[in-house]
DNA sequence: ATGATAACAGTTTTT
DNA sequence: CTGTTATCAT
């Protein structure tokens, strides 16, 4: 008798679940039941094999994926009492560092900073080189385990010598303030394991069965970390799809999945090629496209569903016509009863959303733009977080500078500068400086009026800190009462939205306190720094988003706009045609029932109109001229009311095909006529 | 200290 | 055409 775990699995999936010893690569095509396989495998390990949950480790990239897997795995697990460790790479790093960072002579009350914080630190240090470049270079160094000294030594250009210097100062600043950035969560974890062989053995022994999701997105340091975790065994199972590797530009190494068998000897490979999502016609197009890539392991998706309808191509003169047509299609789908949440429009670059949004607005279609600015990246939320940080750690100079003039207290740049200089001279933090100095002494440093303001500010922070330590629940109200944070944005154009976000944050804080009654502010802070909000609300709106943001999602009706040379594929320095092709592949394989591809002859972009060629991906996907479908093919159906310029209003009594066009039989008040679809408009 | 204007750059984004 | 940042008066 087979265990219940295997009930709904196909042969390849079963094989992947049972193969538990030694390295295993599960090459999971789009829509092939990847999550089901990985969660079943985890359940199998715990329930059937009897591995204690504490001996397994499952790592993902996003909190969303971790959450989904946890929920699905827990449903299958009945016999074990405590849950297995299933989290993001970074969360794992955080947990590890909490226990072991003392091996680097650091205190475990460190604070995790995000990229925005990093930018501010760099900006403070640096003078002339553009900040974004420095941030990404530092990140690259850290992910390649290159120290500032090494970076300096190997830099040839003057600029890079300078970047290496900034990198050094940046690291110094982090150390000084006991801060840890996202890269450190992995890099320091690796460093500790690398320098402490005993601990590496111990940790590897602890996690005897390791699974990694989205392996094609791993980078250099993640691979090295995994190799450390596999010091004493080789039970590593990675799941991924080389054809869906679309994050090369942010350091993901597709070679990790392509060369898995070399990094981990005697690796087995299981291909999941049965696709439960899309119709065969959609898969044919996707398969044909991706076959043009050379760097791939190779697989062909096979639909378990029906043949389906042809992939549709829309050609337009310009972006306004494009969005008008897309909107017309969508209106038609909605009118025929399709749920809005089953419809999505995807694009390669966010800039294309504007004309699309206009078209949707004009047609009265409500949409939800996925992605955009994330909750925790919004200025007002960052202000909130800074307040909390200052309260947990009064010496957090970095955060105190952000809030010292929010709401406005008349403390400007000059005053902050004076404070900072004085705090360095006194070898103390800005907070302590204001706190310990007498009013008179402070007045010698800053203006008289400001000295009093600063004294009050510090006094209030101390008062709120007392409340935080006695009752986390009452704290948040006390904070708002004391500092009127909601007033910061009161007189800005989007005050409503900002205050709503702050209220949302307060709500989240209360939820956290209820869920974790014994936790302190610091736990809340480190938790949310690693979190990104995911809108999962399914509403009355269709979805529009970038192709990157669509990865992992599926829609019954999927539209892709901007299929032109220069947009998809996006061309330019640093562009990689194979990765562009994978983006095309990812976008095509989001579609369940219908896939509609749109391209234009010219587009307005960066302030100028440019003539465009249609994307080479049409030909590569086998969609040549002859297979083009004329737009509006199902725009009209029997019973619809339409208007003709000459005959006026009438009702459709029949639809037939005439060459490429659709011919309508229309009853104009008793007068029956055959009219081509393009000569009438819907009423 | 703060608001107004000029100059400028401009895929994709999670933790 | 946009949004962001640097600089300059007030």
Residue A34 designated active-site: yes
Average pLDDT, whole number, for chain A? Answer: 89
- How do A302-303 and A274-275 pair as beta strands? parallel
Specify the range with the lowest mean pLDDT, choosing from A57-66, A525-534, A625-634. A625-634
**pLDDT tens digits for range A572-620:** 887 899 999 999 999 999 999 999 999 999 999 988 999 999 999 999 9
**pLDDT tens digits for range A153-191:** 988 777 788 888 889 989 999 998 889 999 999 999 999
Return the ∠ at Cα A614 (arms to A605 and A243), rounded to 5°: 95
Whether residue A552 is predicted with pLDDT greater than 70 in this model: the reply is yes
Q: How far is the CA of A116 from the C1' of C4 (A)?
A: 15
pLDDT class of A482 with cuts at 50, 70, 90:
very high
Residue A428 designated active-site: no
Nearest alpha carbon to residue A327 among A365, A354, A355: A365
CA distance A396 to A398: 5
Q: What is the pLDDT of residue A633?
A: 47
Whether residue A470 is predicted with pLDDT greater than 90 in this model: the reply is no
Whether residue A90 is predicted with pLDDT greater than 50 in this model: the reply is yes
Instruction: Taking residues A203-223, report their average pLDDT.
Output: 97
Max avg pLDDT among A140-144, A208-212, A445-449: A208-212
Instruction: Taking residues A64-85, report their average pLDDT.
Output: 89
**pLDDT tens digits for range A299-354:** 999 999 999 999 999 999 999 999 999 999 999 999 999 999 999 999 999 999 99
Q: How far is the CA of A401 from the C1' of C8 (A)?
A: 24
**SS3 label, residue A165:** helix
In chain A, pLDDT over 90 holds for what percent of residues?
A: 58
**Residue whose tokens read 């460790």:** A85
Whether residue A438 is predicted with pLDDT greater than 70 in this model: the reply is yes
Which two tokens mark A233?
């065994």
Q: How far is the CA of A638 from the C1' of B14 (A)?
A: 48
C-beta within 7 A of nucleic chain C, residues 588-627 of A: 604, 606-607
Specify the range with the lowest mean pLDDT, choosing from A103-117, A420-434, A643-657. A643-657
Q: What is the pLDDT of residue A128?
A: 65
Whether residue A405 is predicted with pLDDT greater than 80 in this model: the reply is yes
Q: Which residues contact A601 (CB under 8 A, 6 or more apart)?
A: A315, A316, A317, A318, A611, A612
Are A579 and A568 in contact by the 8 Å Cβ rule? The answer is: no
Instruction: Taking residues A129-154, report their average pLDDT.
Output: 85
Is the distance between the Cβ of A136 and the closest atom of strand B smaller than 7 Å? no
Are A255 and A20 in contact by the 8 Å Cβ rule? The answer is: no
Q: What is the pLDDT of residue A535?
A: 47
- How do A209-212 and A236-240 pair as beta strands? parallel
In chain A, pLDDT over 70 holds for what percent of residues?
A: 95
CA distance A162 to A647: 75
- Cα R_g (chain A), whole angstroms: 29
Nearest alpha carbon to residue A532 among A115, A118, A180: A115
Instruction: Taking residues A669-679, report their average pLDDT.
Output: 79
pTM: 0.85
Residue A35 designated active-site: yes
With residue A604 as reference, give the H or E element that holds it: strand A602-605
**pLDDT tens digits for range A346-388:** 999 999 999 999 999 999 999 999 987 778 878 888 889 899 9
Q: How far is the CA of A536 from the C1' of C5 (A)?
A: 34
Nearest alpha carbon to residue A168 among A144, A186, A154, A150: A150
With residue A665 as reference, give the H or E element that holds it: strand A661-668
Q: What is the pLDDT of residue A444?
A: 87
Are A327 and A612 in contact by the 8 Å Cβ rule? The answer is: no
Positive/negative CA dihedral, A537, A542, A544, A549: positive
Residue A214 designated active-site: yes
Specify the range with the lowest mean pLDDT, choosing from A239-253, A275-289, A636-650. A636-650
Q: What is the pLDDT of residue A630?
A: 47
**pLDDT tens digits for range A111-137:** 898 888 888 888 877 766 667 678 888
Whether residue A631 is predicted with pLDDT greater than 60 in this model: the reply is no
Q: Which bases along strand C come within 7 Å of a protein CB atom?
A: 1-2, 6
């Amino acid at each position: 008798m087979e265990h219940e775990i295997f009930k709904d699995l196909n042969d390849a999936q079963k094989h992947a679940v049972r193969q538990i010893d030694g390295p295993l690569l599960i090459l999971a095509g789009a829509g092939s039941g990847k999550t089901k396989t990985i969660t079943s495998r985890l359940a199998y390990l715990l329930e059937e094999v009897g591995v204690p949950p504490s001996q397994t480790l499952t790592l993902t990239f996003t909190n969303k994926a971790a959450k989904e897997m946890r929920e699905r795995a827990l449903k299958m697990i009945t016999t074990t009492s405590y849950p297995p460790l299933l989290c993001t790479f970074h969360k794992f790093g955080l947990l590890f560092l909490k226990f072991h960072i003392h091996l680097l002579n650091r205190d475990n009350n460190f604070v995790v900073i995000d990229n925005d914080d990093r930018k501010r630190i760099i900006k403070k240090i640096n003078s002339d080189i553009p900040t974004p470049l420095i941030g990404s270079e530092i990140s690259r160094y850290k992910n390649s385990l290159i120290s500032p000294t090494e970076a300096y030594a190997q830099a040839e250009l003057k600029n890079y010598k300078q970047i290496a210097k900034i990198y050094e100062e940046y690291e110094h600043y982090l150390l000084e303030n006991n801060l840890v950035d996202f890269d450190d969560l992995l890099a320091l974890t690796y460093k500790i394991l690398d320098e402490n062989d005993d601990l590496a053995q111990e940790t590897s022994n602890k996690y005897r069965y390791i699974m990694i999701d989205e392996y094609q997105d791993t980078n250099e340091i993640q691979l090295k970390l995994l190799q450390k975790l596999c010091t004493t065994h080789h039970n590593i199972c990675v799941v991924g799809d080389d054809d869906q590797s679309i994050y090369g530009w942010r350091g993901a190494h597709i070679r990790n999945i392509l060369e898995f068998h070399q990094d981990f000897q005697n690796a087995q490979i299981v291909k999941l090629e049965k696709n439960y999502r899309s119709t065969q016609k959609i898969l044919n197009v996707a398969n044909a496209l991706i076959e043009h890539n050379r760097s791939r392991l190779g697989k062909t998706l096979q639909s378990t569903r029906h043949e389906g309808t042809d992939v549709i191509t829309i050609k337009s003169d310009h972006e306004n016509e494009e969005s008008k047509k897309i909107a017309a299609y969508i209106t038609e789908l909605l009118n025929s009863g399709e749920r809005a949440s089953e419809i999505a429009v995807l694009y390669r670059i966010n800039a294309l959303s504007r004309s699309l949004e206009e078209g949707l607005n004009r047609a009265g279609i409500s949409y939800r733009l996925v992605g955009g600015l994330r909750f925790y990246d919004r200025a007002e939320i960052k202000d909130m977080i800074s307040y909390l940080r200052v309260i947990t750690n009064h010496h957090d100079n970095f955060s105190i500078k952000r809030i010292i003039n929010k709401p406005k207290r008349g403390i400007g740049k000059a005053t902050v500068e004076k404070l900072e200089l004085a705090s360095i001279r006194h070898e103390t933090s800005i907070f302590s400086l204001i706190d310990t100095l007498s009013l008179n002494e402070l007045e010698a440093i800053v203006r008289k009026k400001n000295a009093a303001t600063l004294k009050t500010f510090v006094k209030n922070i101390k008062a709120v800190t007392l409340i935080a330590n006695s009752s986390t629940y009452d704290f948040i109200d006390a904070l708002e009462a004391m500092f009127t944070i909601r007033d910061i944005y009161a007189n800005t154009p989007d005050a409503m939205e900002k205050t709503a976000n702050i209220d949302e944050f307060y709500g989240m804080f209360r939820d956290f306190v209820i869920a974790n009654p014994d936790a302190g502010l610091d736990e809340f802070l480190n938790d949310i720094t690693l979190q990104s909000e995911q809108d999962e609300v399914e509403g009355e709106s269709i979805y529009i988003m970038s192709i990157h943001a669509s990865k992992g999602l599926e829609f019954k009706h999927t539209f892709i706009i901007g299929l032109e040379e220069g947009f998809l594929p996006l061309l330019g320095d640093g562009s990689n045609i194979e990765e562009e092709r994978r983006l095309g592949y990812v976008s095509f394989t989001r579609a369940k029932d219908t896939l509609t591809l749109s391209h234009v002859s010219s587009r307005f972009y960066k302030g100028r109109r440019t003539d465009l060629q249609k994307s080479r991906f049409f030909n590569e996907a086998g969609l040549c001229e002859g297979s083009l479908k004329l737009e509006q093919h199902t725009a009209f159906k029997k019973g619809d009311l339409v208007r003709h310029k000459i005959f006026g209003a009438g009702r459709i009594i029949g639809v037939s095909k005439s060459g490429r066009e659709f011919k309508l039989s229309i009853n104009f008040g008793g007068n029956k006529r055959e009219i081509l679809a393009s000569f009438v408009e819907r009423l």
